[in-house]
Amino acid sequence: MAERMQERPDPYLRLEDVEGEEALAWVRAHNEITKAALCDASFEADKRTLYEISTRPDNIPFITRRRGQLYNFWQDATHVRGLWRRTSMEEYRTAEPSWETVLDIDALADAEREDWVWKGCGTLQPEQRYGLVSLSRGGADAVVMREFDLVEKRFVDDGFALPEAKGGAAWLDKDQLLVSTTLGANAATASGYPRSVRLWQRGSDFQQAPLLFQGEFNDIYISASVDLEPGYERIFYRRQITFEEGISYLAQEQGDPLLIDLPLDARFDVEKDWLIVKLKSDWALPERIYPADALLAISFSRFVAGDRSFEMLFEPGPRRVLSGFWWTKSRLVLTVLDNLASQIWLGTPGTDWHLERLEGLPDTASVHTMSLDAGQLERTDEFLLSISSFIEPTKLALVTEDKRIEVLKESPPAFDASNLEVTRHEAVSVDGERIPYYQIGPKEQGGPRPTVLYGYGGFSVSMTPGYLGGIGKTWLERGNVWVVANIRGGGEFGAAWHKAGMREGKRLSHDDFAAIARDLVKRGVTTEERLAAYGGSNGGLLVGNMLTRYPELFGAIWCTVPLLDMRRYTRLLAGPSWVAEYGDPERPEDWAYMAGFSAYQNLEEGRAYPPVLLVTSRRDDRVHPGHARKMAAKLAAMKQPVFFYEPDDGGHGAANKEQAAFLTALGLAFLRKTLAGEGDV
């Protein structure tokens, strides 16, 4: 089968021409068909509701501290593109803080006649007066960078500025940047990311900036980071070889950079003289074998000298894994998932490390830790927590230096959750593995209900609870059910769980999702006709395979910014960067298994498929819009029920809250039109 697929010409190849006149004419025609079919009065009402919820003035303004001031990026109905603004902690603690505008993106976009989307600002330490503002056209990953004065609140005349490209920059000092960018000849890898690091002096021509470090064309990306800790000033270079593997180096004053000799798939951090390593595979050393998912610590200077006597700070257990770690000023913050339940642990370094669990957190909520301070040199031991569940509004809390938890802000309820409950279940997959999932719906089921099954299953991304907000109002409050799948390929249970859903295991990840669909029907939660599969990006590949492999299990498929043509994905934009996850279709041994989950090729004439909504973006420069375009064209030619929508902007997601509300309302309208027996929903 694999060989036959390779030989077939692709009749819709023209749709890969993102800006081609013929392709855009096709897109606009299908956009109009979709809007005519789905954008009715109920759609308009949902869009309005979703937008109002996302832009309420009492939503949580998330913060970052610079020089004692709290910065926030804010979007609402008046500021669609957003405001970058600041206030004091004292003012922030009040019910209605007073904010000072630093940069108005709407005003900037109007003045420059550009579709600017805010992508952040990295500031020069320790003063943090100057920053590099990143702006994207239409939400693409590629950005324009410009130097900005945070005191005078304006762009710096003749300051650092780089035209649109993928990449980034790190401040070395006031007059020097380490820049990784795709600008220039041979500056990009095969994946379209930066291939080198250059030292750019203020006032000089960037194209003449000396090359400090360069990787290979087939690497994913090259980057640099600067450690400014007094007494430990260092520069690190990173070669990301595959999505999973990379090599890091320590710059030397003389000679070649020093290799940091760690397993290629390990993640690490250096803080003062501590090296912290999180393993993704077992690591056999002469002293002992350290297991995958362990967290190790050692003196960095001793490690460089050849010592490998690590202390194990975290040892994984069955369904107990470390999901993240990072440093405050003097403590290591660990986020642990224990059978999907969040725990926060604090590590204090020493001859023997001391770890203690942060007490006072709810057992059923998902807890994420965040740095409060933007600058390394201004860090304290304070940090932020985001605490949320599917049906309880999110709280933003401050953890003080003495480990007290102070709730700073709480989101207002977006929907009535009094008749809703969250339950955990497990489905048995094709190989006997038990696959967990969350079910959010009415306390009294009272028979099958319209249900959305959402999943991702890739790149070690964990599906943990988060407040459903607009979905709660427009879907759950109307008596429907929302389900979140914890299938293999994700990171919920560590490295083995991810690896089981990679490459040859990708089909198994999809089988897990189908097993949950069957379990929902078996338990009487829904029926096949009233069950929709929903996913985006890698999750778009997932639900695309529900369409081609399990069409009988679903009444609708909602598929956004998807990968679908796995035969050509490595030839499209960032596709080569995902070979570690999926395989290389140019290698016959890889295509032999990939052919089984390449949804575009697996559509069959004469087979009945459930209705599909395919959504992408012309400004998605990560996953090529050609995937969704070609899938829609092929389904339409086969006389299958398909809707397609592609806005001009949005990137790999939505450009702003207005567009996000539109796209979600479009999906809900599609479900109303397709899922049987929905009544007034």
Q: Is 652 labeled as catalytic in the residue annotation?
A: yes
> CA nearest 529: which of 608, 639, 469?
608
Q: Is 256 exposed, middle or buried (0-12, 13-18, 19+ CB in 10 A)?
A: exposed
The amino acid at residue 288 is R
Give the pLDDT score at 471: 98
Given 30, 510, 624, 652, which residue is catalytic? 652
Secondary structure (DSSP) of 211-225: EEEE--TTSSEEEEE
Mean pLDDT by 10 residues, the chain (681 residues): 57 97 98 98 98 97 98 96 98 97 98 98 97 97 98 98 97 98 96 98 96 97 97 98 97 95 98 98 95 98 97 96 97 97 97 96 94 95 98 98 97 98 98 98 94 98 97 97 98 98 98 98 98 98 98 98 98 97 98 98 97 97 98 98 96 95 98 70 32
Give the pLDDT score at 659: 97
In Å, the largest CA–CA distance within the chain is 73
Residue extents of the structural domains in the chain:
2-51+414-674
The vertex-372 CA angle with 369 and 373, nearest 5°, equals 135
| Cα 442 to the center of its chain, rounded Å | 30
Give 2-51+414-674's CATH code, choosing from 3.90.25.10, 3.90.1150.10, 3.40.50.1820, 3.40.50.300: 3.40.50.1820
Dist CA 627 CA 560 (whole Å):
10
Give the pLDDT score at 4: 40
Dist CA 634 CA 671 (whole Å):
22
Residues with Cβ within 8 Å of residue 47, at least 6 apart in sequence: 661, 662, 664, 665
Give the pLDDT score at 8: 74
Residues with Cβ within 8 Å of residue 424, at least 6 apart in sequence: 340, 436, 437, 438, 439
Q: Using only C-alpha atoms, what is the Rg of the chain?
A: 25
Answer for the pair 549, 563: CB distance below 8 angstroms, yes or no.
no
Residue 660 CB: number of other CB atoms within 10 A? 19
Q: Encode 597-633 in three state secondary structure.
A: HCCCCCCCCCCCCCCEEEECCCCCCCCCCHHHHHHHH
0.85 surpassed by pTM = yes
Dist CA 481 CA 237 (whole Å):
47
The amino acid at residue 657 is K
Give the pLDDT score at 680: 36
Give the pLDDT score at 479: 96
Given 388, 411, 537, 598, which residue is catalytic? 537
Question: Parallel, antiparallel, or unpaired: how do β-strands 556-560 and 612-615 relate?
Answer: parallel
Q: Is 323 labeled as catalytic in the residue annotation?
A: no
Answer for the pair 509, 455: CB distance below 8 angstroms, yes or no.
no
Dist CA 207 CA 211 (whole Å):
10
Secondary structure (DSSP) of 269-300: EEETTEEEEE-SS-EE-SS-EEPTT-EEEEEH
